[in-house]
Each structure stands twice: as C-alpha cells, then as structure tokens.
Amino acid sequence: MARKRPIRVLLAKPGLDGHDLGVKMVAMALKDAGMEVIYLGMRQTPESIVKAAIQEDVDIIGLSNLSASVIPMGERVMKLLKGKRMDIPVIYGGTILKEDRKRLLDLGIKETFAPGTMMKDIIETIEKLVPEERLQ
C-alpha cells in the first residue's frame, strides 16, 4: 500500500558533545531518501529531546553522541520515554563500544551505528523500524 506521508525522523545530540558532522551527514542522507528530518541540534537535554519527539509526533528518534556520555544519555532518554509510555523507536549513532552496544540494546534502543556506517544501512534500518501502518 502506498504511504500517505514520509517518515518523520527526529535527530538530536544529547549532552555537550560537539562532533556534529556525522549527524548532519545522516540528516542530509535521510532527506535525500525522502524522509522528513527535524534536527534539534547539539547540547540537548534528554528532556528537550523527548518533549520535541512527542510534540512533533515523530516516527523515530536518532541520537548522536561521540563523547563518553553515550550510556548515561541513552539511559536518560529511554527512561523518560518509558515513563511517558511512549513507544517511539530509538536508534543511536556514535563511538559505541561492543559492550556498550549490548547495554543500549538491553535498554530498548533498537539499533546502534558506529562511525563509518554506510548511509544506506541506516536508511534501511529506519524503514524497517517504522511500522507501515503509521504511514497510512
């Protein structure tokens, strides 16, 4: 069935990390793939991210973090979403070590992406994670 609207993605950098090249590349690639992208920018708090996700009624949240606060920021975002009983899929890109990836997946984050990931892989994952009925 044809979609009525494009996938809406919220991208944000939680914490103080300034490495925003990757997230900007993802934003541009997702737009080129026909998605609607809302990029909140850097120095976001978990609260501001979750609030924007709800307000903008996005289909998926993409977090980016290349500093060492990957885990605490991921934990706080997931905790807030659960507290609000929100079932928005979350993906996370950045310098995520193997054991950290496992921790993040256990928290309910759907997928993590290391630097150097091909954009087509990110696009494919998003396409899979967003339920088709949301787009009807």
Partner 1 sequence: MYKKEEIERIAKKRREWEDDVLSKTPPRKTEFTTISGIPIKDIYTPEDIEGLDYVRDLGFPGEYPFTRGAYAPMNRGRPWTIRQVVGVGTAKETNERHKFVMKQGQTGMSNDFDVPTCIGLDSDHPLAEGEVGRVGVAIDSLADMEILYDGIPIEKANHSFTINHPTLAILSMFLCLVEKQGVSFNNIRGTTQNDPLKECFAMKMFSFPPESSVKLLVDTWEFAAKYLPRWNITNLNGYPTRDSGGAVHHELGLTFASAIEYFDAALKRGMVVDEIAPRISLMWYVHMNFLEEIAKFRAMRRIWAKLMKERYGAKNPQSWKLRMHAQTGGGAYTYQQPENNIVRGTIGGMAAALGGVQSMAIACFDEALSIPSEKAHRLSIRTQQIICHESGIPDVVDPFAGSYYMEWLTSEVEERTWKVIDDIEEKGGLAKCVDNGYVDRMLTEEAYKFNQAVEKKERIIVGVNEFLSEEEEEEPEIFRVSEETERIQLANLKRLKEERNNLQVQKALDDLRRVAEKNENVMPYCIEASKVYATEGEIMGALREIYGEFKPPSIF
Ranges of beta strands (E only) in 20-110 are 36-39, 60-65, 90-94
Among residues 3, 82, 120, 128, which is the contact residue for partner 1, using CB under 8 A? 120
118 binds partner 1 (CB under 8 A): yes
Gap between the Cα atoms of 80 and 1, Å rounded: 34
73 binds partner 1 (CB under 8 A): yes
Of the listed pieces 56-64, 79-87, 95-103, 125-133, which binds partner 1 according to CB under 8 A? 95-103
Q: Are 106 and 90 in contact (CB under 8 A)?
A: no
Q: Are 90 and 63 in contact (CB under 8 A)?
A: yes
Q: Interaction with partner 1 in 3-32: which residues (CB under 8 A)? A: 15-21, 24-25, 27-29
Contacts with partner 1 by CB under 8 A lie at 15-21, 24-25, 27-29, 37, 39, 41-43, 45, 67-69, 71-73, 95, 97-98, 114-116, 118-120
